[in-house]
Structure 1
Amino acid sequence: MSLPRKRISILLVEDNPANVFLQKRIIEKLDCADRVVVARTGQEAYERMKEYAADPPSLPDLVFLDINLPAMNGWEFMELYNQLEIPAAAQPVVLMLTYSNHPNDKRRAAQTPGVSGFYNKPLTVPLLNLILEAHFPILFEDH
């Protein structure tokens, strides 16, 4: 397992405090993020993304999105998120990170514009490393 040489910014959209704690620990263990922001509801995540969209350099590189959230679930978040005007070069990688193993959720994620992947919790060091290598190979390059 190689460790990233560069860092990204991450938005965790997660309402469970234990999951937030675990995910942050895994991210810290790989030392792959210079900024980790937590939104505990889909609505809070959407409000943050609206603010970030007005200043594209502030957008996170990666969004881990839970499906089952209070106030606005992950699917509802994606409907509104996809209406934001975000320059293509600044588009974050949005990954569903959920306990759901339901085939309909996996299928829906694959068909939802803006969703780049579907992964099952819990987030682990090997899983995060796999995600980073798949979606951010530049992090592992020597520069």
Structure 2
Amino acid sequence: MGKMFENIYMIDDDPIYLFLAKKLFIEQKFSQNIKTFENGKIAIESLLNSQNLKENLPDIIFLDLNMPLMNGWEFLDSLNAAPIPNKENITIIVMSSSINPMEIDMIKSYPVVQDYIVKPLTPADLQKLLAF
């Protein structure tokens, strides 16, 4: 496998899914540095703090849509409004267990979102992302 992603954010409120996805990333040599967040609010705060701490932004964010406190849509709107330098370099992949056509159309209306993956994440999904 060619490149590995330096930093990954996973934003999902399902701890079992986060655990399995993290294991998959490591097994597939997709990334070693995976930060997980149970909602969009904590992830936005982390992105804003990374500027102060001079941490690298994530290369890729896997974003669940349905979460408490701040869902995926609210996260995308907050990210759009946040004063984060170079945020346009972050690849955002939306993950959902839904294949609602309206939801897919809404996702396509966000230029920052590169792809949409129906859960669960598979090794084939990761291979496809490495080809970006």
TM-score, normalized by length of structure 1? 0.83
Residue 55 of structure 1 deviates from its aligned partner by: 5.6
Structure 2 Cα separation of the partners of residues 96 and 79 of structure 1: 14
Conserved? CA contact 2:47–2:84, under 8 Å: no
Partner of 2:70: 72
Partner of 1:119: 117
RMSD: 1.8
Partner of 2:49: 51
Residue 56 of structure 1 deviates from its aligned partner by: 6.4
Conserved? CA contact 2:10–2:63, under 8 Å: yes
Conserved? CA contact 1:4–1:31, under 8 Å: no
Q: Say which SS state the counterpart of residue 15 (structure 1) adopts.
A: coil
* 4+ residue runs over 6 A deviation: none
Equivalent position to 1:22, from 15, 20, 25: 20
Alignment pair present for 1:132 and 2:123: no
Conserved? CA contact 1:4–1:32, under 8 Å: no
Which AA in structure 1 matches 2:96?
A: T
> CA separation of 1:92/1:55 partners in 2, compared to 1, >3 Å: closer, same or farther?
farther
Partner of 1:139: none
Conserved? CA contact 2:8–2:58, under 8 Å: yes
What runs of 5+ residues in structure 2 fail to find an aligned partner?
none
What runs of 5+ residues in structure 1 fail to find an aligned partner?
135-143
Residue 99 of structure 1 deviates from its aligned partner by: 0.6
Q: Say which SS state the counterpart of residue 74 (structure 2) adopts.
A: helix
Kindly tell me the number of residue pairs found equivalent between the two proteins. 132
Conserved? CA contact 1:53–1:85, under 8 Å: no
Conserved? CA contact 2:8–2:34, under 8 Å: yes
TM-score, normalized by length of structure 2? 0.90
Give identity over the alignment, percent.
27
1:31-50 alignment to 2 at 5 Å? 31-50=29-48
1:87-98 alignment to 2 at 5 Å? 87-88=85-86, 91-98=89-96
Structure 2 Cα separation of the partners of residues 68 and 49 of structure 1: 20
Structure 1 Cα separation of the partners of residues 127 and 7 of structure 2: 15
Residue 115 of structure 1 deviates from its aligned partner by: 1.4
